[in-house]
Structure 1
Amino acid sequence: MRLLFINGPNANLYGLDPSGTYGRETFGDIAARCQRKAASLDAELDFRQSQDEGEIITWIQQARGVMQGVIINAAGLSYTSIAVMDALLTFDGPVIEVHMSNIHRREPFRNKTYTSKAAVGSICGLGPLGYELAIQAMVDLCRT
């Protein structure tokens, strides 16, 4: 089973935010956690991050017919990118949206995401654990 996990703009700064909104674990630490989780479930995980909306859209399009599922934390693009949503809607497998923070307890503009329109489910507010839960959920979805 092959899964694509996309992280959007500024996710590479996890663990470096002085406010602590996204926790203390670095992006590299989170990537390693996710790789371990996927391996424990006999899944291959392609874990990526980009600052570029176009690159993210290209990755989603390239995943068609190759990956069984897409997990995405589009970060700031979650609230602004209809183009990312449209790409996700054309993916032929399940999509799960994940956010480190609880977007519903933050600024009002973060309460609604375009990416959720393409997702079978969303996980938010659980930090890196949410990433691992998204991987577990995706493997379960793809195996049924």
Structure 2
Amino acid sequence: MSDVLHDPRWRTAWRLLFLSVVVGASWLAFSPHPPRAADLGWDKANHFAAFGTLAFVGLQCLAASPRRRWIVLAALLAYGILIEVVQAQIPGRDAEARDVLADMIGASIGVAVHALILRVTAPRATPAR
């Protein structure tokens, strides 16, 4: 598991996964009537889950740097706003500023979980003999 999270050779796979998650989230966000099976029962929970996942996977797509979390959060903020602008044009859907707030809460949780998991799975240096 550590290799999948820490080895840069996995970055292409993470990028493909990110693209898949963006496509899936976009399909759900832009569908006039998304399937009930994709609903967690509370609209804001859907936002937390989607943007938490996008943040975690998005962080894995970029090389480690002190700024990568801010890049991912800024990109997800723009994506969340875009979703609400588009939803305002879709019959049966409406735009809510609270949805963007829920998106950012979910993304922040995703960033925190990512940092925690990377710390826990960090390769340990073996003592020299």
Tell me, yes or no, whether TM beats 0.5: no
Which structure is higher in RCO with an 8 Å CA cutoff and minimum separation 6?
A: 2
TM-score if structure 1 supplies the norm length?
Answer: 0.27
More strand by share: 1
Larger Rg computed on CA atoms? 2
TM-score if structure 2 supplies the norm length?
Answer: 0.29
More helix by share: 2
